Every structure is written in structure tokens, then in C-alpha cells.
Amino acid sequence: MLLELSESQLVLVDYQTRLFPAMFEAEKAWANAVVLAQLAKRLAVPVWGTAQNPSRLGELAPEISVHCQQVLAKMQFSAMEEGLGEWLKPEPEAPKGNARSLPRHLQKNQNGAPERNTIVIAGCEAHVCLLQTALDLLEDEFDVWVVTDACTSRTERNRDAAFDRLAGAGAELVTTEMVGFEWLRSAEHPEFKFYQSLIK
């Protein structure tokens, strides 16, 4: 099963300025997060950010937040506990019409937009906020794809333990390039050269 561009949303978890110095291979993870954000925005994939306790840990890195539709400031480790789910799956508009309108199960999506139930997620710390958010997403029946080379923790062991647990829970483990090439699908895609420029 490949990632479907039209069904995807991107969630970037807690790439915060004061966390950066303490993270394992932070430079690589941040750089890959920026690539994901730039490509997603170019392909009209919704991009959401989160920031854990920003008054203590700093804001979401500006090179990432500039690509986000919104950034969720939170205190809970799982962003789903703070309302991320409402952003990812907004309530449909109330149906218009009178008492003779179609029953709810026969009504078309009022927004006309496709459902985007595939969540591509990356961030830090992988074994805390990313893990808890991803597990809650799975519980809410989203398809979760974790971008491993854009995730980090303070230690490599904690990061890798998060990947083991997420894979066991049903998340797909992917890399930044896997996401990009699956969204594009072809060297003839109009954004292929742009993506090449990001990863070279």
C-alpha cells in the first residue's frame, strides 16, 4: 500500500528551539522535517504543528512553523488530548434544507473535500509526545505513517524503542524520501524537480 496524496495530512510534533541542542542527530531530523513541510505545502497537503509547553521549551522552529496552517500549543504529551483531532477531522457543516431533506446517511459531504484520514507524522521526542500522539491517532482510526528519519529523542535507544512500539501498534514506518516519492508517484509530476532540489 502506497501513500495517497489526496488522503494525506502532515503533523510535525514539537520541533522547538530549546529542544534542539538535547536531541540525538537533531540537525538531520530538523532538516527532514523542513523538506516534508515544504513539499507538503507545495502539494496542498495540510500541515499542522504542535509545540509542547512553549513558554518553557520555546516556539516551534520558524523554518517549520512558516509552513503550518496552525500550531497547537499544548501541555499534554499527546496532541490529541488538546484538540488536534478536531483540526484533522473537522465536524461537517450542518446539512441545509427542510424536513424533507435526505436522511443523514444519504447526504453528501457538505464541504465537498475528500476525507484525509492518512496522517504522516514526525517529531520529537519520539518516545514521548510523538508516540502518545500517534497511538491516539491510531485509536481514533487514522492511518498513521511515522517518518523515522525526521524523528528524534534525547537518546537513540529511546527513539528506536518508540519505532518498535509504533510498528507493533500498526503504524507504517517510512522515510522522508519514501513519503515524497509516494506522494509524487512519477518523474513526470510537475513538482518532481522541486522535490529533487530539496533532497539533493
Active centre residues (catalytic): 14, 74, 129
- Conformational region of residue 55, where left means phi above 0, alpha means psi within -120 to 50, and beta covers everything else: alpha
Q: Which residues contact 65 (CB under 8 A, 6 or more apart)?
A: 49, 59, 71
At 114, give phi and psi (nearest 5°): -70, 150
Would you say the C-alpha torsion 111, 112, 113, 117 has a positive or negative sign? positive
- Conformational region of residue 48, where left means phi above 0, alpha means psi within -120 to 50, and beta covers everything else: beta
Task: Identify the three-state secondary structure at position 84.
Answer: helix
Residue 190 to residue 182: CA distance in whole angstroms: 14
- Which residue's entry shows cell 509526545? 129
